[in-house]
Chains A and B, each alone.
Chain A
Amino acid sequence: MIKNISNLGDAALYCDFGTEVNKEVNNKVIRYFKSIQKENIDGINNLTPSYNKLIISFDIRKKNFQTIKKLIENLDVINDDILESKKIKIPVCCDEKFSLDIIRLEKKLKINRDKIYEKFFGKELFCYMTGFIAGMPFLGDLENELRANRLETPRVKVPKGSVGLTEQFANVYSFESPGGWNIIGNTPSVIFNSSKENNPNLINPGDAVTFEQITKDQYNNYNE
């Protein structure tokens, strides 16, 4: 299933699942990721699944590229139906103080905001991966009419909770961070909670996420 395994530096494997980005490819990545996690292989110290790649980092004191590569090539990969997938609803307020790029987006997409909301809210999206900053989910796929490029000049600070769109993906800024996605609203949900050591991320790869629009009042009185 992995098309090619190469080395990324001297302490990581770069597992390439092809160039396509879709659920099927990503599902293979996630299956490998969960299978390796389950094996608990001594020396592997990190796994980074993404759309169509999996990076396996190892402790160079304990293992080397060739030994890990053999282990991965001979791995028993778990089946589709064992994968857990949660359904998660994320409330989003699109009040003007939160929807930083809605005007820009209306121009880019050549449709008005009501149409944008109609195509965005209530549609089930799939979590391809989490990361960049702690807990940030990369969700897809957006309808064709919603696909826009990143900002020409990224913001130095995107507020925590911002919900952004770029190309076929949506994300949620789990922390204030630099970033270039088109921001359409803000969620009061806690996306990353470091006090939950076993499960700090609200959204994990494979989960199904639906955004739901809420009013400013609902936002202000939001209670988990």
Chain B
Amino acid sequence: MQSPLSKLQKTNTTITMNKNYFEIKRAGINTTFQDQGRSNLYHIGIPFSGAMDNRNFQISNKLVGNETNSPVIEFAYQGPLLKYFGDKIKCAIAGDVKFIIKKNDNDIEGDCYKSFTLENGDEIDIMTTNKSVYGYLAISGEFNLEYQWSSCSINTKANIGSNNGKRLEDAQKIYISKINKNLNDKKLNYINTKIEKIRVIKGTNFNYFSDEGKNFFFDKEFIVSKLSDRMGMRLNGPQIENIVDTNIKSEGLIKGVIQVPADGNPIIMLSDHGTIGGYPKIGVVISADYDKLVQLAPGSKIKFQEVELSSAETLFKLYDLETQKLISQI
């Protein structure tokens, strides 16, 4: 278990604390620190959390020469406006993000997947994640963060993780405890592709739904609702009729589970989901499609496609190989 103190002691030899920091001039809509998340805590009610889009999270770290699971700043829709104070530092942004780097009075259009240098007084204005949801800002070095259960990931529901488990706010400061020097600029040629279909394995309560409801689920389009966040994604579309029972005895959930409550509108569990739920499970999104799923902004259309377990396992291997290949190209 890593305590904040051991973290400080480890880095104290190379830096002076609190000398390098970002001042948050605008926090953005949902800006948090995230890493790989925390495991083995479902039984006490704590979900994984961690970066929503795992591939972009890892890429952002590799672009600044970090270990791929180092803590980064995750933002959604509108990101933060940050003013930097301190020694030169390399940064990189991964995702489909429009941002500007302000140096003196110069505004420079930012490029995702390409590291850049910030100097004392520079600003980064992360304006929008375009038609996606999440983006990642990594720094070449380490943020000064507190860890709980080996992770700094912020879970705002249970106030767990760094920043007292709360999202970042206007006017606060983000301290940097270590800067890696002499890093070459890095880049990656990568375009986030939109996914046409979200592949799903049938859920444990698939037979709770009428034949028509089952057909709707795999044939019709659903729209991502505005009521979506790190906990879950609500969908609107044709109502899926339940013919058995609209409640089940509460049982465990995992990310990607699609529950259908009494109103017939599916809800997909995402990284900060409640660990127990009592609505029937019509399906589970396959692991290979999770990163693309979470990037679907409200208003996006979703179509589900059924796959068998063996195909899902193969598709994950392909996804993982592709991620490793991208990381090795940086």
Contacts and interface: CB of A to CB of B under 8 A. Distances in A.
B42 A131 contact: yes
A127 to B, nearest CB: 12
| Centre residue among B42, B45, B257 by max chain A CB count within 10 A | B45
B222 to A, nearest CB: 18
B250 A132 contact: yes
Nearest to A169: B250
Interface in A22-38: 33
Given A55-B251, A175-B157, A10 B286 contact: yes
Given A53-B251, A60-B287, A131 B204 contact: no
A53 B312 contact: no
Given A65-B309, A134-B44, A6 B158 contact: no
Given A47-B43, A130-B43, A133-B157, A10 B254 contact: no
B313 A10 contact: yes
Contact of A132 (B45, B165, B313): B45
A60 B54 CA distance: 14
Given A131-B45, A131-B274, A6 B204 contact: yes
B287 A136 contact: no
Contact of A45 (B39, B251, B274): B39
B284 interface: yes
A174 to B, nearest CB: 7
Contact of B276 (A33, A50, A175): A50
A48 B287 contact: no
Contacts of B316: 10, 60
A8 to B, nearest CB: 6
A51 B253 CA distance: 13
Interface string B262-282: 000000000000111100010
A132 B286 contact: no
Given A50-B249, A50-B250, A194-B160, A131 B148 contact: no
Interface in A157-185: 174-175, 177
A210 interface: no
A159 to B, nearest CB: 15
In terms of DSSP, what is the predominant structure of the interface of chain A? loop
Contacts of A47: 40, 42-43
Given A55-B254, A130-B45, A132-B277, A175 B249 contact: no
A138 B313 CA distance: 35
Contacts of A53: 249, 251-252
B10 to A, nearest CB: 19
Contacts of A135: 44-45
Contacts of B86: none
B118 to A, nearest CB: 33
A46 interface: yes
| Centre residue among B43, B249, B281, B287 by max chain A CB count within 10 A | B43
A211 interface: no
A99 interface: no
A49 interface: yes
B274 A57 contact: no
Interface string B7-51: 000000000000000000000000000000001111111101000
Nearest to A61: B320
Contacts of A91: none
B296 interface: no
A52 interface: yes
Contact of B40 (A46, A61, A174, A200): A46
A121 to B, nearest CB: 24
A55 B309 CA distance: 17
Contacts of B191: none
Given A51-B251, A194-B148, A200 B44 contact: yes
A208 interface: no
B237 interface: no
B288 to A, nearest CB: 8
Given A21-B249, A50-B251, A51-B251, A8 B45 contact: no
A192 B159 CA distance: 11
A132 B309 contact: no
Interface string B116-136: 000000000000000000000
A161 to B, nearest CB: 15
Contacts of A33: 43
A50 B276 CA distance: 8
Given A10-B284, A11-B254, 13 more contacts: A6-B204, A9-B285, A9-B312, A12-B284, A46-B41, A46-B254, A48-B276, A52-B251, A54-B252, A57-B42, A60-B313, A61-B320, A130-B44
24 contacts: A7-B201, A8-B203, A8-B204, A8-B254, A10-B286, A12-B254, A45-B39, A46-B40, A46-B43, A48-B276, A49-B252, A57-B254, A129-B276, A131-B274, A132-B45, A132-B276, A134-B45, A134-B160, A138-B250, A175-B158, A177-B157, A192-B44, A192-B45, A197-B148
Interface of A: 6-12, 14, 19, 21, 33, 45-55, 57, 60-61, 64-65, 129-136, 138, 174-175, 177, 192, 194, 197, 200-201, 204-205
